[in-house]
Structure 1
Amino acid sequence: MRKYDVHLLLRQIYSARTPRPYRKAATIPSRALSTQHGPSAGSIARLATRIPRGTWDTHMHVVDPRAFPLSKDAQYQPSPHTIVEAQKFLSSLGIFKMVIVQPSIYGHDNACTIDGLKRLGVENGRAVIQFDVDTTSTEQLREWHELGVRGVRLNYKSVGAKPEKISLATQMHKYATAVRPFGWVVELYIAMEDIPLLETIVPDLGDVKICIDHFGRPSTESLSTAQTNELLPGFSCLTQLVKLDNVWVKLSAAYRLDPHPQHPHVQSLVRSILRTRPDRCVFATDWPHTRAEDVDVTLYLQELFNWCEAEKVPLRKVLVENAEELFDARP
């Protein structure tokens, strides 16, 4: 491996450090956990020993503005994060299977995501894309399905959109109808505060699989002011939804909620979801941590594994089996 490649790999994986004492989310700068030093080989190896064989990272992004121009409506300008770099990051942890999720900066142009999926192949790869439900043909969906696409993403949070109930219901019904014949997932990235909108929508969608990204991502304001999870706006609705057989939650991107991996609400939130439906939780690194590239993600992975074990949920269930069911990837 070239010296540059080693440096690039080490920038993506960070050593597990002893967490600092907890402070409220509102008082910690967003860059509080920026990387100061590269990881040791030992810390990488220790994390890798906890990861079961056959693990799926269910939420990664591949971005290469040099080869695939961004949407004119892109909210930010990222550095390139290629499929080769993604594979290097995951393989250091012993992970070889990934779900590439279409980032908002590419809009409905799935070329970069599909290119990465083709390079992975259907044995090790799946993808969640975005498309215009009113103009995309069944033949196009079938072509994507054969390549390994298994979901469509409705992304409100990344673009700062506030969903309205009637339009959200209309969109979800349209997409559910389009993907139902293929067994795809309708993946939602909305704020936890907006999850109550789903209470009457999701039950009407039948058996179409629904997945909520980043456990609903409550706002920093909600996390800093609510005294308990039960007082987080939308939390009770999330726990009721996850009781349904067709609703999954991604335990991912805790660093987007709070820069401290042991934030008490974050821990309580994840453990509550795990207790409610351990068979409907899936794992993801959220690499390359867009708009937070310097985050020490190993801290959050270690804590997630600790929370699973504290709730007596086998890591193999969350990291392997649930993902295989959700993304039609059983061997």
Structure 2
Amino acid sequence: MSDVIHRVVPEGSIDTHVHVFDPASFAYADDRDYTPAAADLGDVQAYGKKLGVERFVFVQPSVYGTDNSALLAALKLHGSSRSRGVAVVGSETSEGELAALVAAGVRGLRLNVKSNPDGGKADIREPLKALMARAEPHNLAVELFCSATSLAQAGDLIAASPVPVILDHFGGIKVGADGAVAGLEQVAELLSLPHVWVKLSAPYRVAAEGAAPGAIPAIVSYLIDTRPDRLVWASDWPHTGGGSDRKRRGPGAVEPFRDIDDVAETGSFVSWLQSPQTVQQILVDNPAELFGFSPATH
């Protein structure tokens, strides 16, 4: 008898943004901006069983810097048919190390400036150019976690990118408590390009407290109308904190994860999509294409 509680998402769904935090086996970087609690591969798999998800994209979190050891271990243990990775590299990362990451299942390189509580509006042009140059010979995507301000500064580079570009967490779109939406047109313009993808992930990062409950479903509908074949779903599990709380807490104190009901959150997301065909496209078919999974059998 299966131990999956129930299926919230279609068979073959891919959660394109989960993290592994395993400080007992893989120490965090000394110069990290926060200290998350532990959430190892077994915890990821247990989370997936609640939804009926077995395929994951493991994304390197900033607390590990350019040491992708925890990511590589997760890829190996979870298996090549069920997992892919997005790594973080630096100038010290050799071409041999990069080739080994690709061989292990890495399909993207991440530029993360938003995890730093003081770096939300950093100018990303130069590091983005460098990352695109590293990614292109290996046919890797570049994934960006940055503010809408940083995204606007680099819009021309993104438009001319020789590799796929993935925008984390709705591309930095924000909904204010007054209902004002910032960044939507900008993200939609980038999304209209054939090589740009948007992760519909972590809606709790999008809307300010007090924002109208219908704001995010409306944004999702707008992006679906723009380019449904370039949208992918992600949970952002295990839901790290951030924002002003992170800055106040300081990097050494353990940061609690957000209290998210994954079944309810994912069920709500699925309900925002326009049809069963769109659900299949965004949760199964699009991420399989982007990250190189085998197509799911319908």
TM range (shorter): 0.7 to 0.9
Change (3 A) 1:75 1:105: same
Task: Choose which of 172, 175, 183 in structure 1 pairs with 2:128.
Answer: 172
Identity %: 32
Q: Which residue in 2 is equivalent to 1:138?
A: 95
Q: Which residue in 2 is equivalent to 1:325?
A: 289
Task: Choose which of 154, 164, 181 in structure 1 pairs with 2:111.
Answer: 154
Instruction: Check if 1:252 corresponds to 2:201.
Output: yes
TM-score (norm 1): 0.77
Contact kept, 8 Å, 1:100 with 1:128, in 2: the verdict is yes
Q: Which residue in 1 is equivalent to 2:226?
A: 276
> Which consecutive residues of structure 2, in runs of 5 or more, have no partner in the other structure?
242-256
Change (3 A) 1:256 1:262: same
Q: Which residue in 2 is equivalent to 1:186?
A: 142
Residue 240 of structure 1: CA displacement? 0.3
Q: Which residue in 1 is equivalent to 2:73?
A: 115
3-state SS, counterpart of residue 202 of structure 1: helix
> Which consecutive residues of structure 1, in runs of 5 or more, have no partner in the other structure?
1-8, 10-40
Alignment RMSD (CA, Å)? 2.2
Instruction: Check if 1:196 corresponds to 2:146.
Output: no
Contact kept, 8 Å, 2:221 with 2:274, in 1: the verdict is no
Contact kept, 8 Å, 2:60 with 2:86, in 1: the verdict is yes
Change (3 A) 1:262 1:102: farther
Which has a greater percent of strand?
2
Contact kept, 8 Å, 1:209 with 1:246, in 2: the verdict is yes
Aligned equivalents of 1:262, 1:305: Cα separation in 2: 19
Aligned equivalents of 2:28, 2:211: Cα separation in 1: 32
Contact kept, 8 Å, 2:121 with 2:149, in 1: the verdict is no
Aligned equivalents of 1:187, 1:306: Cα separation in 2: 27
Aligned equivalents of 2:210, 2:26: Cα separation in 1: 34
1:1-331 matched pairs, under 5 angstroms: 45=6, 48=7, 50-132=8-90, 134-160=91-117, 161-165=119-123, 168-206=124-162, 208-219=163-174, 222-227=175-180, 229=181, 232=182, 234-258=183-207, 263-291=213-241, 292-309=257-274, 313-331=277-295
Change (3 A) 1:115 1:261: farther
Aligned equivalents of 1:257, 1:199: Cα separation in 2: 20
**Cα distance per residue 1:246-297 (max 9 Å; x no partner):** 0000011112234689723222212211111110110111111122431223
TM-score (norm 2): 0.85
Aligned equivalents of 1:58, 1:253: Cα separation in 2: 12
Residue 110 of structure 1: CA displacement? 1.1
Residue 226 of structure 1: CA displacement? 4.5
**Cα distance per residue 1:152-201 (max 9 Å; x no partner):** 11111111314454xx2222121111111222110000123432223211
3-state SS, counterpart of residue 319 of structure 1: helix
Aligned equivalents of 2:50, 2:268: Cα separation in 1: 19
- Amino acid of the residue matched to residue 96 of structure 2? E
**Cα distance per residue 1:107-129 (max 9 Å; x no partner):** 11111111111111211110111
**Cα distance per residue 1:280-317 (max 9 Å; x no partner):** 1101111111224312233321221111136x752111
Change (3 A) 1:263 1:252: same
Residue 73 of structure 1: CA displacement? 2.1
